[in-house]
Chain A
Amino acid sequence: MDILVENITKSYGSQKALDNLSFKVKTGEILGFLGPNGAGKTTTMKAITCFLSPEQGDIKVGGRSVREKPDEVKKDIGYLPENNPLYLDMPVIDYLAFVGELQGVPKEKLKDRIKLMIKVCGLTKEKHKKIGELSKGYRQRVGLAQALIHDPAVLILDEPTTGLDPNQIIEIRELIKEIGKEKTVILSSHILAEVEATCDRVVIINNGKIVADGTPEQLRQKAQGNESLKVGIEGGEKNDVYTALNELSPVAVVDFADDGDNTFIVESKPGMSSAKAIFDLCVEKGWYLTQLTPQEKNLEDVFRELTN
């Protein structure tokens, strides 16, 4: 089920939370939503789930507008809100039954769905406990279980892994990936590694506008710019090596690396690669290479560049 966000604008008072935002998510795609605090991630998600209605623009989920048919749209969405609000005085099973009924799961199927969700989300031991007695990680699982109870075509997760321990994070990521094969998933996160690990596509928003959109690789390439190499050269005097590297024709800047005596960060001129020149230099001078690693910009650099 495709999600089509068309030119939505939403303000809180005089502050624009969303400014003419548009994007599209296709079936089977896992979209990572990135942005600094207050960028409008949560607001966008609330608009898609029909909790808030934008002042302008429209959102279509599977071709149906959130303005005209909110009840139908809501039925197709599984939503895990930020901070994962739950009824703490309800036992896990009762809570899942309540949500399942609200989502219109047929009575005869409800028991099986609850059983399945409890198994999938690893809640077997906790199923009779009250939600208030559970730890944060387990509550997060309950939140995920309630979002999935009616087998929705669209899954919207607002920071799904906050409060989980590293093992649980990996489990939940695997689960999201598994689910994402046939569903449309939008997830927001602060953790860039998480988005990189789970998402097919990343949208970075800042001040209510999209500043980047593409696969994690595309974004990284875009931000990459000039080649940057980490070079380790032994067998020569540090300063000699430094001067020699500086004299190479494709090299733009040489810097001493922080982590070793004879390692350097070599940045090439635009469109050129200095790897061969460095190798030839070593052969000529009788030095030897201990490392020659391309310095990849990670998503964090991209993020910082775009949102600062």
Chain B
Amino acid sequence: MKQIWILTKKELNSYFDSLMAYILIIVFLGLSGFFTWLYGGSDIFYINRATLEPFFGVAYWTLFIFIPALTMKQIAEERKTGTIEMLLTKPVSDWQVVKGKFLATFILIAITLALTLPYYITISFLGPIDHGAAITGYLGLLLMSAAYISLGIFASSITSNQIVAFLLTLILGIFFQILFGIMASAFSGTTANILTYLDMRTHYENIIRGVIDSKDIIYFLSIILAGLVASEVSLLKRQI
């Protein structure tokens, strides 16, 4: 655990040193703030209810784009510069490296989401808010982010080119975000059921509605685990 934390700390520092973190936070707050408060048609004044739903809707898409940008360099750059060799000849295992990097990006996203808590507080003063749904909404965002981070790290682990890693994460993401849902409607029976289960949107919407079902939680946790294990396997192979 100590080794993982050392790696996480280093990665977090590198996010903040490279301005990456600040850009993410500012753009994310700007976009989500705009759509939550100002954008006519879906902002909370227009729908006239004290709810975080507009925010969760925007955050879902914004994070979908931002996370690949955060994870793309994680392992790809280390492969390209050769620092991965330096790192893996220190007393850390491949699994610890993967987890350390995952955790760093996850903490950065958690910090970003924590900075939107003022939205929640403000809205709760404006009217009666469903606290349960707000909390599960944040939980949903965290789970969904963790799933994409894990996929992003996997994409980054199989190439030494950051752009390839970025695009690959987006492509993988689009499947979970939209395509599985669309494909499900084209099929019927078991295939449709499987595809519907793979579609992230349904699980996410269940959670932000305030329903915590073990089925949804298991869905997210299995994507996270699968992504991390796949990253470890691709690291263990040692080739680019």
Contact = CB atoms under 8 A, between A and B. Distances in A.
Contact of B6 (A52, A88, A98): A98
B232 to A, nearest CB: 15
B89 A50 contact: yes
Contacts of A94: 13
A74 B17 contact: no
A89 B18 contact: yes
Nearest to A79: B89
Interface in A28-69: 46, 49-52
Contacts of B85: 46, 51, 81, 85
Interface residues of B, number: 21
A74 B6 contact: no
Contacts of B92: 71, 102
Contacts, number: 59
Contacts of A51: 85, 88-89, 238
Interface in B1-39: 3, 6-7, 10, 13-14, 17-18
B10 A98 contact: yes
Contact of A90 (B7, B14, B84, B93): B14
A296 to B, nearest CB: 39
A99 interface: yes
B91 A103 contact: yes
A52 B238 contact: yes
Given A88-B81, A98-B6, A49 B89 contact: yes
Contact of B93 (A71, A79, A89): A71
Nearest to B93: A71
A90 B77 CA distance: 14
A98 B87 CA distance: 10
B114 interface: no
Contacts of B82: 81, 83, 85
Contacts of A89: 14, 17-18
Interface string A145-169: 0100000000000000000000000
Nearest to B17: A89
B185 to A, nearest CB: 45
Nearest to A130: B17
B86 to A, nearest CB: 5
Q: Secondary structure of the B side of the interface?
A: helix
Nearest to A83: B82
Nearest to A98: B10
A104 B91 contact: yes
Nearest to A76: B91
Nearest to A143: B86
Contact of A75 (B81, B91, B93): B91
Nearest to B80: A85
Interface string A84-125: 011111100010001101111000000000000000000000
A22 B238 CA distance: 23
Contacts of B88: 50-51
A77 interface: yes
Contact of A101 (B6, B17, B86): B6
Contacts of A90: 10, 14, 17
Contacts of B202: none
Contacts of B10: 90, 98
A99 B90 contact: yes
Counting chain A CB atoms within 10 Å of each CB, the highest count among B88, B89, B92 belongs to B89
A47 to B, nearest CB: 11
Interface string B67-97: 0000000000000011111101111110000
Which 4 A-B pairs have CB atoms at the shortest separation, nearest pair first? A85-B82, A49-B89, A74-B91, A85-B83
Given A74-B91, A85-B84, A94-B13, 4 more contacts: A51-B89, A85-B82, A90-B17, A102-B90
